Amino acid sequence: MAKTIAPNNVAKSNRKWITGYSIIGLLLFITYQFLLPWEGLPLGIYDAIYRWMPPSAINESLVYIIMALGLNIVVGYAGLLDLGYVAFWAIGGYCAGWFMSEFFYFLNINFLGSVPAEAPGIHINFWMVLLIGGFVCGVFGILIGAPTLRLKSDYLALVTLGFGEIIPQVFFNGENFFGYNISNGTKGIVGVDPIPVGVKNLGPFDFGWKLLIFLLLTAVMVFISLRLRRGRLGRAWLAIREDELAASMMGVPLMRTKLAAYAVGAFAGGLGGVAFATHVNGVYAERFNFTISIFLLAMVVLGGMGNVWGVILGAFILSWVNGNGLTAFGQLYNEQFGTDIDFASFTFLLFGLVLIFMMLFKREGLLPESRLKLMLHEDELDQIDASSKSGDK
Amino acid sequence: MSNILEANDISVQFGGLLAVNNVNFNIPKKSIVSLIGPNGAGKTTFFNVLTGLYKPSAGNIVYDGRDITDLAPHKIAEIGIARTFQNIRLFGLMTAQENLLVAMHSHLKSGITATILRTSKQRKEEREAEERAQEILDFAGVGKWTYEFARNLSYGDQRRLEVARALALNPKVLLLDEPTAGMNPQESQIFIDFVRKLIAERDVSVMLIEHDMKVVMSVSQRVTVLDQGEKIAEGSPDEIKSNPRVIEAYLGKPKGSK
């Protein structure tokens, strides 16, 4: 029963994960940037990588990981169910669309942009747009949160669901937003500026270098998550998750603390949005639909709410299955057995089954937070206690 | 002797039910006062009014010369009115230390950026908070459970930890809602001694809701009796013991009387 947590030793544990993460990240980067284009690479390995984990798929996975980490702060840390997270992704994406493309062709603003100064439109440096996207989303998080966070559990979930529908719909029909074109509607904004990294500009097909950038963004989110978790705010989030009333009686301002969770979560959504826009080289309104919110939530739940490593694992698995894994597996299966089954169409059946089995047998997720595991298995422990006691008689 | 907290003419109405009716109550500095009464008399409701959870439908509350009637619960906690709960409401999946650090939330200052960057100021603040938490845990007699999840503690230790958590707010008024409920006589006695030590060593007043008359009579300087939302008696423990209205409220009217 006695389960003790070692005293705070933040610096040491941070050094550990940063080392491990850097090694894995560097290996991935070398594989995709140098090994894959290398002519001496055996054709079998080349084919396998392209079939199972092509460069575009791993980059897309990382975008999902960034956003899942943001959602984890809202859902996993503060315990607020958010079914409309896709809204922040959309806002982040359109920040990239507005500030680093030729969308506003009638303007000519260039601030350290990666295109020639005479190009029409607003062209702000990618790294600044990242921050802009993050902060705009943070502000929207507060705007959406302020009226809704007074609600509890189910009601909050429903209202966030509403906002998750409203905001993408506004962009979807944004060709005429009170007389202004804010999104090009269904046509989307095609083409965003390449990412400047000093020596060169990274276009849509520089997968290897962009992998490195996305890895960096993921690391930043992990860092922020872990640091906040151990600090004053993280404790307040946890306390709210445990017992809202007791937390407010202990001097924790509920509204402000919840808004902070929303804002930080939305910030990550903004990062993900900007990153995704550069990944697909454009912003397309039909990508931002409700299923993404559920998809992200499933990643957090599958991986293990509240534990960043679990969330990363969950996000990686689900986005991989959705993007490439199942198709590749289907291809292999069809080749082996001469069948002709369209495996990709079973994606959501598979997700449904996985979630059902997870809830039945491993509710706390793949890599759970130790606290949560304790809570979710308490009733079972009680049952064991009860049965062993009755067995004594 | 001046009062740290004064509640004047407090009434609380839930729909048609008058849960607390026109009650005056004050807590003198560095004292232990008790609120007793039969079940459903409105004691916990009165507590909830003092801590800002319910707003009174009439009356006002003055704490340390300041009207706090309309303050939010977390503000009231911050300025120094801390409480425990009738049924323990610790943060079970947080360690004892974390429980106390949550209570210190309003007194700590580090914001989001300072926490992310782990500035030297933030580190110092955290270290000092942890030291203070340990001090309070030791004082409350649960010092060896610093890194233990609160839910794993024994019942008596959880009660003590809840008081320790309330003390971490650095309160001037401590409201204890049936702190000895479910304790055996020895545990109750230890708790009484602890409360006495609290008053002696810290600048704090204690208000107690309690059913255990032995505890109430031995520890309180003044006892107030509520019945059906109304204050029916107030005085020293000895006066209360012999007050006919109190006996009536607890035991009913003697046979034959009207």
Who's near A273: CB < 8 A, 6+ residues apart? A88, A89, A90, A91, A92, A93, A94, A95, A96, A133, A137
pLDDT of residue B128: 94
pLDDT of residue A136: 96
Residues of A in contact with B92 (CB under 8 A): 242, 375
Provide, rounded to the nearest whole percent, the portion of chain A with pLDDT above 90.
Answer: 36
A223: nearest CA partner in chain B: B116
User: Which of A84-93, A308-317, A368-377 has the least mean pLDDT?
Assistant: A368-377
Contact between chains at B118 and A260 (C-beta distance less than 8 A): no
As a whole number of angstroms, the distance between CA B166 and CA A268 comes to 35
Model confidence at B39: pLDDT above 70: yes
Residue A5 lies inside a defined structural domain of this protein: no
Confidence band for A118, pLDDT divided at 50, 70 and 90: confident
- ipTM of predicted assembly, 2 dp: 0.90
Model confidence at A362: pLDDT above 90: no
More confident residue, A347 or A274: A274
Single-letter residue type at A221: M
As a whole number of angstroms, the distance between CA A218 and CA A66 comes to 5
Do A319 and A347 contact (CB within 8 A), yes or no? no
Q: Is A9 on the interface with B (CB under 8 A)?
A: no
Report residue B141 as tokens: 């007699």
Model confidence at A7: pLDDT above 70: no
Produce one character per residue of A354-379: b if its CB has 16 or more CB atoms within 10 Å, e if not. Answer: eeeebeeeeebbbbbbebbbbbeeee
Please tell me which of A31-35, A197-201, B17-21, B245-249 the model is most confident about, judged by mean pLDDT: B17-21
- Domains of chain B, each with CATH number or no CATH: 1-80+171-253 (3.40.50.300), 92-170 (no CATH)
Residue A373 lies inside a defined structural domain of this protein: no
The pLDDT tens digits for A261-320 are: 999 999 999 999 999 999 999 999 888 888 899 999 999 989 888 889 999 999 999 999
Region B210-234 average pLDDT: 89
Residues of A in contact with B51 (CB under 8 A): 249
pLDDT of residue A239: 94
Residue A121 lies inside a defined structural domain of this protein: yes
Confidence band for B257, pLDDT divided at 50, 70 and 90: low
Structural domain boundaries enclosing A269: 20-37+56-291
Residues of A in contact with B165 (CB under 8 A): 250
As a whole number of angstroms, the distance between CA A129 and CA A122 comes to 11
Do A304 and A75 contact (CB within 8 A), yes or no? no
Q: Is A226 on the interface with B (CB under 8 A)?
A: no
CA angle B102-B105-B110, nearest 5°? 125
The length of chain B, given as a count of residues: 258
Reference A76, options A64, A68, A85; nearest CA is A68
Contact between chains at B51 and A249 (C-beta distance less than 8 A): yes
As a whole number of angstroms, the distance between CA B138 and CA B145 comes to 9
Which pTM value belongs to this model? Answer: 0.88
Region B78-93 average pLDDT: 91
Contact between chains at B105 and A252 (C-beta distance less than 8 A): yes
Residue A296 lies inside a defined structural domain of this protein: no
pLDDT of residue A2: 41
Residue A240 lies inside a defined structural domain of this protein: yes
B50: nearest CA partner in chain A: A249
DSSP B22-80: EEEEEEETT-EEEEE-STTSSHHHHHHHHTTSS--SEEEEEETTEE-TT--HHHHHHHT
d(CA A389, nearest CA chain B) in Å: 19
Residue A258 lies inside a defined structural domain of this protein: yes
pLDDT of residue A393: 36
pLDDT of residue B126: 92
pLDDT of residue A4: 44
Q: Where are the alpha helices (DSSP H) in chain A?
A: 10-30, 43-52, 55-72, 86-99, 126-148, 153-172, 207-230, 232-242, 244-249, 254-280, 290-303, 308-320, 326-337, 347-361, 370-376, 378-392
As a whole number of angstroms, the distance between CA A368 and CA A166 comes to 33
Residue A89 lies inside a defined structural domain of this protein: yes
Residue A266 lies inside a defined structural domain of this protein: yes
Model confidence at A10: pLDDT above 60: no
State the best of B79, B106, B115 to mutate against chain A, taking most chain A CBs within 10 Å: B115
More confident residue, B140 or A115: B140
The pLDDT tens digits for B135-152 are: 999 998 899 999 989 998
Between A and B, how many CB-CB pairs are < 8 A? 116
User: Which of A9-13, A40-44, A205-209, A363-367 has the least mean pLDDT?
Assistant: A9-13
Confidence band for A218, pLDDT divided at 50, 70 and 90: very high
Kind of pairing, strands B222-227 and B230-235?
antiparallel
Number of domains present in the structure of chain A:
1
The pLDDT tens digits for A161-196 are: 999 999 999 999 888 888 888 888 888 888 888 888
Confidence band for A361, pLDDT divided at 50, 70 and 90: confident
Residues of B with CB under 8 A from a CB of A: 51, 53, 72-74, 77-78, 82-83, 85, 89-95, 98, 101-103, 105-108, 110-112, 115-116, 118, 122, 126, 130, 147-149, 151-152, 165-166, 169
B122: nearest CA partner in chain A: A231
pLDDT of residue B183: 84
